[in-house]
A and B are shown apart, each in its own frame.
Chain A
Amino acid sequence: MRGKKPQADELRIGVFICDCGSNIAGHLDCSSVTEYASTLPGVAYAKENLYTCSEAGIGEIQKGIKEQKLNRVVVASCSPRTHQPLFQNSCAAAELNPYLFEMVNIRDQCSWVHMEEREDATQKAKDLVRMGVSKAAFLEPQQDIEASLIPRVLVIGGGVAGLSAAGSLAAMGLDVVLVEKEVEAGGLLRRINRLAPHGEKASERVLEMLLSIKARPNATLYLGSRVEDVSGYIGNFEITIRPEGGEAVREKVGCIVVATGAVPLKPEGLYRYDGTRVVTQMELEERLAAGALEAQRVVMIQCVGARSPEREYCSRICCQTAVKNARFIKEQNPEAHVHILYRDMQMYGTENEQMLCDARGEGVRFDVFSPDQPPVVQEGKVEFYQPLTGEMVGIPCDLVVLSTPLVPRDDAQALSQLLRVPVDQNGFFLEAHAKLRPLDFATDGIFVCGSARYPANVQEAVSQGLGASSRIATILFKDKLITSAIVAEIDPETCVGCMGCMEMCPYEAITYLPEKNICEVNTVLCKGCGCCAATCPSQSATLRGFKPEQLMAQIRAV
């Protein structure tokens, strides 16, 4: 075994056992685990806390480091995913190298899964703590990794979300490169008539946003262009942009925003869709914008191709779009009949619900239908089963408008592969955390906003664009990037250049150096997943903080 185990008397390990209120202490005996921990070799101090993550609990760790002269800290509590950074930073604040910290999960992996087995759970917690302490003995101090940052941002997509992000980034003083594949920016808004709730012209809003970006000297627009290649990593991306039929342009940026939007589903084969007498809401918008609507009797059908087995999700904005257009039709022609057939009117929030109320007041008719008995489009009428009366009702009409969901763009999949970021089961880009990190990708330095993430109305897309710009500011406003030292390293002395690690690496963080016939890790790209270390046949690739001797110590303690 490589590495030297520190002498037991040099070690002063502090163990902090967390009650997590009753989350842990309610199901196992934390006092007895604490007492046990204090008897383990190398342990100089053991303490039980009600909440180790509270200010008081952190204070205990820091007090322990100072007063007990601890040189290793083990916290037995919840998940390192949520709390390791906190504890590590707290160690650092008390002048203990943060990599001399080890975490043991006795909540998710013990108390929560053994709720009715107090004695066994207590024993298991002791085992887990013993393993953690054994590993802690082998921990080594590490230095965080520093990298440079290019204060320039690539925004992919010039729709309302992308324009909002780009405008905000430029206003904060960062250089912006906006790439739009169409020859005109504006995205779906260019095809839309009016905006809810105040009836502003969509084209005017786009123009206003576009002009404000064009006025910024630090914003560069590539219209009619595509992102062809992306390499590098947070702080240092290299981008190849290909204008339609032109020479490729290279750009270096520190961060990337994905604002590629979505498109309305074309309902081929649904409700006798023909694009003339049965149209989509988007096609209706275009007719309205052109002043070319002649219909006197309009029936709108909601959830066409959405909330169905093949497309389970609700597209969020179609109900408000339908109501907005219904009201516009009534405003232009009060004699017109507009009837909306829906499953649930998704008019969330203040203004939307108000719009729904106003629409009813203005004479727009609403009727609910059940998905197992959908309306039937016939010649000159739409027939549906009205649950309130229990009867089939026919509504005469000369235009049927289908509300179809926004669906991911065809090229979203390709972009996701280019950027190495995931999409969800519906094909929308998948954020790092649905609730707490809605605009981040799990991959550092890449962000998402607008309908590329999930259908959003204009106000939401604008806020999300702003939000993504702010997430980027938190990175690029700094002079350099500091990342975790828990990365892989490859010993150039023993590596034989088999490239097995390269194949396993999900982050493309490993490169092969042909002149030396060895592989090398890019420590900024490396996420510390350990795939390479597990693969390497000669144990040349190792993961800092999870080296063989550290893991073996942990396993032998079982």
Chain B
Amino acid sequence: MLDVGRHPDIDLMAYSEVEKVEGESGAFKATIRRKARYVEEDRCTGCGACKEKCPTVLPDAFNMGLGTRKAIYSWFAQGIPSTHTIDPAHCRQLNGKKCGICQKVCQANAVNFDQKDRIVELDVGAIVVASGYKVFDPSQIPEYQYRQIPNVITAIEFERLLSASGPTAGHLHRPSDLLVEAEMEALEKDVKKSEKALDKFEQKYGQASAAFYDAYQKGAYEGDEDRGKWAEKYVAHLALVEPLDALKREAEGFDVAKRLAFVQCVGSRDFRFYPFCSGYCCMHSIKEAIIANEHERETTSVIFGMDIRAVGKGFEEYKIRGGNQSGITYVRGRVAEITEGPQRNPVVTYEDTRERKVISRDFDLVILATACAPSEGVERLAEILGIERNRFGFFKTGTSQSLDTTRPGIFACGCAHGPMDIPESVAQASGAAARAAQIVTAASMRKAS
């Protein structure tokens, strides 16, 4: 990424979209909308002082909403360019409220609330489409209860939990536990507030609240309006403390997730959603199970799949190693249902086709290997570029020239034209660059002669 960012011949236009493509192979005119960041790219040093002070806290999309970010943000710490961006939907200043704190703290004077989208026109010989894919939303599958059961998560969410720079610093805390901890934190805040209020009364009357309330209940202070308030506050306080104590007791039993289930083909190889195989998910489930085991050696994983497709170089060997050394069991079968059992443990019901039995088993965490779906806005992009899509919704490419789209001079690589893994994407990217170079060199040779 950095190589691209600092390459002298690459002009990186992040946060930008193609709006129009005219002309033909060898001589395209592309219209690009450079969306307003409300931060001047050439001034911003990426120091992050703005986001420290920004008062607006939002779910962090990069961490799949598992952490938070501010209304002025960078997508992630090592992102290129390191320029920050203001989220216009949530920034107070841009929504007519008084704020502008980021502008005040920015020593580089980079924040510009008046910035507008810019339209740039480019003359290019060839176009490479590498618009990737989107992760399937598993809430469309009712039997897996992704939204209802907190400890059922997607593979990409699991990746963020495993990541050292992710929301849990790489510890596999269960989302249900994180919810309880967040609730405890909120309650503790309220308890502190109410303790302060009680403290005032205790000072004033020189008596502990509990002892006072005992007496109060026996009717000692009838008609005393001030003490009546004290009593009220004390009752409210107890209403906070009791659930907090209950949560604390619950939290004592919390541990990191050690019994993992990976459910394959979630949205893939499923006629309700995508009939195709997403190609890479078997391998990322194996990888995630191996890493989880490296984090915590007692971790065991069960990978449920119809086939385990370990088809790349070294993949089958990796799969076997995962089974032998990293506590992975592979079960052939499609998971029928996920429900919630005691201790918020997800319960997976499946048919083990080898044992010919329907089995229900509980786990600490269930990870869904979600399908590789055509990316958001793919219809519009196809229209803008004037290229066709295939029956699966990805960009259509040729059979003899497998990187050529239906419009000469426009090439596709990676998941933009079908699911594939990293080595294949990288090889294709080089291939698409070659096809583009052929067009550009031919055009420049024509010009020269």
Chain A residues with a Cβ under 8 A of chain B: 21-23, 26, 50-51, 53-56, 59, 86, 89-90, 168, 171-173, 195, 198, 200, 205, 208, 307, 312-314, 316, 344-354, 357, 368, 370, 387-390, 424, 428, 434-439, 449, 453-454, 459-460, 462-471, 473
Given contacts A89-B6, A435-B426, A463-B431, contact A347 B312 (CB under 8 A): no
Nearest-Cβ distance from residue B401 to partner chain A, whole angstroms: 7
Partner of A466 from B47, B316, B434, B441 at Cβ < 8 Å: B434
Pairs A-B, 5 closest by C-beta atoms: A466-B431, A467-B430, A470-B434, A344-B307, A55-B82
Beta-carbon contact of A350 and B419 below 8 Å: yes
Instruction: For the complex, give the distance between the alpha carbons of A390 and B269 in Å.
Output: 26
Partner of B47 from A26, A56, A200, A465 at Cβ < 8 Å: A56
For B81, the closest partner residue in chain A by CB is A55
Instruction: For the complex, give the distance between the alpha carbons of A349 and B269 in Å.
Output: 10
B356 in contact (CB, < 8 A): yes
Instruction: For the complex, give the distance between the alpha carbons of A463 and B422 in Å.
Output: 14
Instruction: For the complex, give the distance between the alpha carbons of A169 and B285 in Å.
Output: 38
Beta-carbon contact of A53 and B418 below 8 Å: no
Given contacts A350-B419, A353-B277, A435-B426, contact A171 B165 (CB under 8 A): no
Chain B residues with a Cβ under 8 A of chain A: 2-3, 5-6, 45-48, 77-78, 80-82, 164-165, 169, 269, 275-277, 279, 307-317, 320, 332, 353-354, 356, 390, 392, 394, 399-403, 413, 418-420, 422-424, 426-435, 437-438, 441-442, 445
Please, which residues of chain B bring their CB within 8 A of the CB of A53? Answer: 2, 78
15 additional A-B pairs beyond A54-B78, A347-B277, A471-B430, beta carbons within 8 Å, are A22-B164, A22-B169, A50-B48, A56-B45, A56-B47, A86-B6, A312-B317, A345-B307, A351-B418, A368-B353, A436-B422, A463-B413, A463-B428, A470-B433, A473-B433
Beta-carbon contact of B434 and A313 below 8 Å: no
Given contacts A316-B311, A460-B424, contact A470 B431 (CB under 8 A): yes
Please, which residues of chain A bring their CB within 8 A of the CB of B400? Answer: 200, 205, 208, 462
Please, which residues of chain A bring their CB within 8 A of the CB of B275? Answer: 353-354, 357
Please, which residues of chain A bring their CB within 8 A of the CB of B308? Answer: 344
For B351, the closest partner residue in chain A by CB is A388
Nearest-Cβ distance from residue B78 to partner chain A, whole angstroms: 6
Nearest-Cβ distance from residue B162 to partner chain A, whole angstroms: 14
Instruction: For the complex, give the distance between the alpha carbons of A200 and B400 in Å.
Output: 10
Please, which residues of chain A bring their CB within 8 A of the CB of B442? Answer: 171
Nearest-Cβ distance from residue A306 to partner chain B, whole angstroms: 9
For B83, the closest partner residue in chain A by CB is A55
Instruction: For the complex, give the distance between the alpha carbons of A173 and B422 in Å.
Output: 29
Instruction: For the complex, give the distance between the alpha carbons of A387 and B331 in Å.
Output: 13
Nearest-Cβ distance from residue A259 to partner chain B, whole angstroms: 13
Nearest-Cβ distance from residue A423 to partner chain B, whole angstroms: 12
Please, which residues of chain B bring their CB within 8 A of the CB of A424? Answer: 313-314
Instruction: For the complex, give the distance between the alpha carbons of A208 and B398 in Å.
Output: 15
Nearest-Cβ distance from residue B41 to partner chain A, whole angstroms: 10
Cross-chain pairs A/B with CB under 8 angstroms, 6 sampled? A21-B165, A313-B313, A314-B316, A349-B276, A466-B434, A470-B431
Instruction: For the complex, give the distance between the alpha carbons of A468 and B433 in Å.
Output: 10
Beta-carbon contact of B277 and A352 below 8 Å: yes
For B354, the closest partner residue in chain A by CB is A387
Please, which residues of chain A bring their CB within 8 A of the CB of B435? Answer: 168, 466
Beta-carbon contact of B309 and A462 below 8 Å: no
For B307, the closest partner residue in chain A by CB is A344
Please, which residues of chain A bring their CB within 8 A of the CB of B437? Answer: 172, 470, 473
Beta-carbon contact of A173 and B307 below 8 Å: no
Central interface residue in B2, B279, B420, B430, by most chain A CB within 10 Å:
B430
Please, which residues of chain A bring their CB within 8 A of the CB of B165? Answer: 21-23
Please, which residues of chain B bring their CB within 8 A of the CB of A454? Answer: 312-313
Instruction: For the complex, give the distance between the alpha carbons of A388 and B429 in Å.
Output: 43
For A21, the closest partner residue in chain B by CB is B165
Nearest-Cβ distance from residue A149 to partner chain B, whole angstroms: 16
Beta-carbon contact of B399 and A200 below 8 Å: yes
Beta-carbon contact of A346 and B313 below 8 Å: no
